[in-house]
Amino acid sequence: MRHLLLILTLTLAICWPAPGNTAEKPSEYKIKAAYLYNFAKFIRWTDSAFTDDKAPLVIVIFGKKPFNGNLTP
């Protein structure tokens, strides 16, 4: 009887969902926006690419707006 109770307790402990797994997963386009943003940071731009140090990087997307503002600062 004790072995059965021990097995049942261990099975429930292993199968019980962890509370940390309830976080919302990022959408496909949030991941793509983060990729574009971080990819642009690691490019060695020429001095003539921007007018000054504070000039924005403009990414143009044609068609529908799948990023829903995820690329805006």
Domain boundaries, the chain: 27-73
Alpha carbon distance 10, 16 (integer Å): 10
pLDDT (tens digit per residue) in 3-39: 787 787 878 778 776 676 567 788 888 888 888 888 8
Q: Is the dihedral of CA 26, 30, 32, 35 positive or negative?
A: negative
pLDDT (tens digit per residue) in 42-57: 888 888 888 888 888 8
What integer pLDDT is reported at residue 56 of this predicted model? 85
Beta-carbon contacts of residue 42 (< 8 Å; ≥ 6 apart) = none
